[in-house]
Structure 1
């Protein structure tokens, strides 16, 4: 078996991105076609991922290595979109079966084992991640959402990029209207529901704050009602077992001032912690102390007779309260 010198191997690895390179690059570095073929044989140290694309190891490729191979194979001008473009930015989504590649209509490239091809006249200007061309977050989310049939996963595709501050709900609406309308009905309906819950970047910051707080996970975007089902107020985060609410919206950002007015909630026995949303950006340690202290106080008193309804998927309606206990006891 042809064995390049150790110095040559170091050069080859340095020239590869994520351990993936092309036959053309290898030949430019002095590796002959026969040497490439020999090293890619079964049991050899390299592996051929796609025609002309080489993994400089014999193991199973990682998802990022597959993305790199798909980009090399479909270049020039191709862009990674869909779930993989979001995951590359840190959005915690389950991987899709195939990498979604966008190419121009005139390209003759065919899909392969681990990626699909979508020809579009609207190939976006990519955002580069160490050379990987990624579709902008709103485009990636909408491209993935058009293909999704599971309602829970569809909601994640549209809300998580907002939580992570990658785009806004308005960005998603604009992208949806700009593209092909095929497969958009379910996406449009889910976006309406996302709008109705008011899920924002602040929720993501709030989740980061709570990661350091020793409290059970709350419900999000909750409407609080009396036993006659009349709305008293709303909480951005809610611990139903102790009737504790956390509000970090303001009169400027909330859909209505009445929704965040704590007076009616306090009169009903609800304990409310209010936090200026600007403090969320700094993950203020005082917030953790305030929430922990409020939870302890709430747990000491008798839970008030109220009902609470989550507005987040599965988009509860007024006949599906968070708590199913006998509140009149």
Structure 2
């Protein structure tokens, strides 16, 4: 930002990221205090979002503008955590409230103000940067949110959602709980014990992520398949019913035991099954995505076999 005179303020607003700026930065670059006050009056072209932080617009601030303002208020070293950081690349189905949870180094004296919850910590998290905003890593963000969650159902969803979506594992969350403050950790620990085994859930979560990254219809998950007589052919990890395509990524062997005849039964009934190892899913998701698209096309180009899925056992895709 360069020295600015009042006639250039309109153009200045277009150069400031998200239109959010600290008053100190405006003053340092030639904008007088009286000009700032005048423009932040009711119905003025600007508004104060937090002490010392201005939005150079009179419109209602977006969530992103509120996040940027929270970091500007908290100062150097601040990091967004909680639900905003946990939901950065995933939608866990938990609505973000008005509050923005921010971590700052323990040496800072910034305090909670307005919609910004300030938490001082001696253990700053691993960082994720998005367009100039700094967020805590998913495990830390989830645990920070979980420590403050009082609703049991939301707590369970908060802890299981990231695992189901492949954002982290149960062990990642346990490590984070063990490393941090024990205050408020009893309920998250109890809820985490109810989350399915980390290896199985993380594998399925990675598979769900790959499926969402394609242009294919979303599958159903953990689906029992029967033939025309009603005989059970097997339970598959993912199922595209329109083309009778099964995808197996190694979770059913944990849940139902290894069945050496299951694949033969599915093949004999005409079901095309793509088998992907958990290791390949983790290490080479781009190739797995291509394999999945090719398998879908192959299934779509043949006559669909007379098999059917038991919809009552198929939870909705997330």
- In the superposition, the TM-score normalised over structure 2's length comes to 0.74
* Maintained 8 Å contact 1:223/1:234: yes
Question: Equivalent residue for 1:71?
Answer: 71
CA distance 1:47–1:258, shift in 2 (3 Å): closer
Which one of the candidate residues 6, 18, 33 is aligned to 1:4?
6
* Maintained 8 Å contact 1:234/1:260: no
* Maintained 8 Å contact 2:84/2:96: yes
Question: Equivalent residue for 2:112?
Answer: 111
Secondary structure of the 2:201 match is: coil
Aligned pairs (5 A) from 1:288-327: 288-290=296-298, 292=300, 296-297=304-305, 300-301=306-307
Question: Equivalent residue for 2:162?
Answer: 161
CA distance 1:187–1:260, shift in 2 (3 Å): farther
* Maintained 8 Å contact 1:206/1:280: yes
Which one of the candidate residues 208, 211, 215 is aligned to 2:212?
208
Secondary structure of the 1:158 match is: helix
Question: Equivalent residue for 1:286?
Answer: 294
Q: Cα distance, 1:69 vs. partner?
A: 1.0
Question: Equivalent residue for 2:184?
Answer: 183
Cα distance in 2, alignment partners of residues 81 and 41 from structure 1: 32
Secondary structure of the 1:68 match is: helix
The more displaced of 67-76 and 253-262 is 253-262
CA distance 1:199–1:65, shift in 2 (3 Å): same
Q: Cα distance, 1:162 vs. partner?
A: 4.0
CA distance 1:38–1:147, shift in 2 (3 Å): same
Question: Equivalent residue for 1:22?
Answer: 22
Question: Equivalent residue for 2:133?
Answer: 132
Q: Cα distance, 1:50 vs. partner?
A: 1.0
Secondary structure of the 1:38 match is: helix
**2:257 matched to 1:259?**
yes
Q: CA RMSD in A?
A: 3.9
Secondary structure of the 1:30 match is: coil
Q: Write the deviation string for residues 135-191 of structure 1: whole angstroms up to 9, x where unpaired.
A: 111100111122234455334433443455543332222111111223333322443
- In the superposition, the TM-score normalised over structure 1's length comes to 0.72
Cα distance in 1, alignment partners of residues 302 and 173 from structure 2: 37
Q: Write the deviation string for residues 195-222 of structure 1: whole angstroms up to 9, x where unpaired.
A: 437222422234326x63357x41x346
Q: Cα distance, 1:308 vs. partner?
A: 8.0
Secondary structure of the 1:194 match is: coil
Cα distance in 2, alignment partners of residues 12 and 241 from structure 1: 52
Cα distance in 2, alignment partners of residues 295 and 114 from structure 1: 58
Cα distance in 2, alignment partners of residues 207 and 213 from structure 1: 7
Cα distance in 2, alignment partners of residues 199 and 137 from structure 1: 16
Aligned residues: 294
Secondary structure of the 1:109 match is: coil
Cα distance in 2, alignment partners of residues 192 and 224 from structure 1: 30
Cα distance in 1, alignment partners of residues 301 and 194 from structure 2: 34
CA distance 1:214–1:52, shift in 2 (3 Å): closer
* Maintained 8 Å contact 2:74/2:110: yes
Cα distance in 1, alignment partners of residues 313 and 264 from structure 2: 18
The more displaced of 275-284 and 35-44 is 275-284
Cα distance in 2, alignment partners of residues 66 and 76 from structure 1: 17
Secondary structure of the 1:287 match is: helix
* Maintained 8 Å contact 1:141/1:158: yes
Question: Equivalent residue for 1:57?
Answer: 57
